[in-house]
């Protein structure tokens, strides 16, 4: 009888230690981070004022599908903040989700196609450095992207880049305002669910 109690106690202690180890080493597999951007056409910043540029709570998905607009979007009419909810999401995905498109020599808005030329160049600055077409680049946590059509000189581009907010880090540390998934959930209940 005493050996049975010791054996059962050992099993219980082992299970408790295993659960405690899992709780301490929990890492969420959900993706949720942010980036900032600004887009200029002929010196005027696009403010993306139309409500249909933004995702809201009514657009949450009941199941765990991976719809394109669920993967990357904007919320609450905050036009310079990108919400990323999936791995390997590119800037091209983001712009497609808001109805725009970009390439190395064109910028397509919802109602017109702007072709780059020597008089109307198309420039991209990512994290303070000029890059070629960012459409295929994965959006990194806290990236800052400038898309500028029509500005040629470095001083103008530098001034435009300075208007790209750096609010992504603050957004990383707050709950997503309109997402079913919200921020990364590392609560005790979520950790226990991941174990069992």
pTM of the model: 0.75
How confident is residue 4, by pLDDT bands cut at 50, 70 and 90? confident
Tens digit of pLDDT for each residue in 47-79? 999 999 998 744 444 445 468 888 999 998 999
Q: Is 53 helix (H, G, I), strand (E, B) or coil?
A: helix
Whether residue 119 is predicted with pLDDT greater than 50 in this model: the reply is: yes
DSSP 155-176: HHHHHHHTTS---HHHHHTS--
Helices 2-24, 188-195: inter-axial angle, 10-degree rounding: 120
Query: pLDDT band for position 113 (50/70/90)?
Result: very high
123-147 pLDDT, tens digit each: 999 999 999 999 999 999 999 999 9
């Amino acid at each position: 009888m005493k050996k049975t109690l010791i054996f059962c106690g050992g099993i219980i202690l082992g299970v408790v230690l295993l659960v405690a180890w899992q709780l301490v080493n929990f890492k969420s597999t959900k993706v949720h981070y942010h980036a900032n951007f600004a887009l200029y056409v002929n010196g005027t910043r696009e403010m993306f004022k139309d409500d249909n540029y933004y995702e809201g709570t009514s657009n949450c998905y009941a199941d765990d599908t991976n719809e394109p607009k669920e993967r990357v979007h904007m919320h609450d009419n905050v036009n310079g903040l990108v919400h990323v909810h999936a791995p390997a999401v590119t800037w091209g995905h983001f712009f497609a989700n808001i109805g725009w498109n970009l390439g190395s020599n064109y910028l397509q808005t919802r109602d017109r196609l702007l072709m780059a030329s020597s008089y109307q160049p198309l420039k991209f600055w990512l994290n303070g450095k000029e890059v070629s077409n960012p459409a295929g680049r994965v959006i990194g946590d806290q990236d800052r992207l400038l898309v500028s059509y029509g500005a040629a000189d470095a001083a103008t581009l530098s001034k435009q880049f300075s208007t790209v907010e750096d609010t992504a880090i603050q957004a990383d540390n707050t709950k997503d305002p309109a997402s079913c998934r919200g921020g990364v959930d590392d609560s005790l209940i979520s950790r226990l669910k991941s174990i069992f």
